[in-house]
Amino acid sequence: MKAHPLATTRYLIQPGDTIKTIATQFDTTPIELMKLNGNKPLIIQPKQFLIVPLPLNKKTHVVAEGESLQDLLVRFKLTPDEIIHLNQDLFLQPGQLITIEP
C-alpha cells in the first residue's frame, strides 16, 4: 500500500479538469486523490478545491491568487525562458502547481 505523501496543497479545479488529468499533473492516481480527500467518490466542479500531493522530486510552487508571472520571475530569480522550459503548458491560475527548479 502506497503511503500518503507528507506534503499536500490545495488545487483550484479549472474548467476542463478531470480526476485523471489532475492525478497525472500531480504524479498520483485517482485512488490516492480520493484517499486524500476523505475516501469518498470525487465529483469535481470548477472553482472547488481539491487536496493534492506535492511532488517530492521537484522544487515546486503553488500559484497564489493575484500572483503574476513577473512576481514569480523576481521571487525565484528565473528568466522567462527558464520558467517556460520548466513548465511546458504555463498558464498561471491560482492553485496551479508550477516547477521552479529542475
CATH assignment, 1-53: 3.10.350.10
Per-position pLDDT tens, the chain of length 102: 344 445 788 888 989 999 999 998 888 899 999 999 988 878 899 989 999 987 665 688 888 888 999 999 999 999 999 999 998 878 888 878 888 887
Q: What is the pTM of this model?
A: 0.58
The answer for residues whose C-beta is within 8 angstroms of residue 45's C-beta and 6 or more apart is 13
CATH topology classification for 58-102: Membrane-bound Lytic Murein Transglycosylase D; Chain A (3.10.350)
User: Could you tell me the residue ranges of all domains in the chain?
Assistant: 1-53, 58-102
Question: Which amino acid is it at 5?
Answer: P
A 10 A CB-CB count for 62 gives 16
DSSP code per residue over 20-64: HHHHHHTT--HHHHHHHTTSS-----TT-EEEEEPPSSSEEEEPP
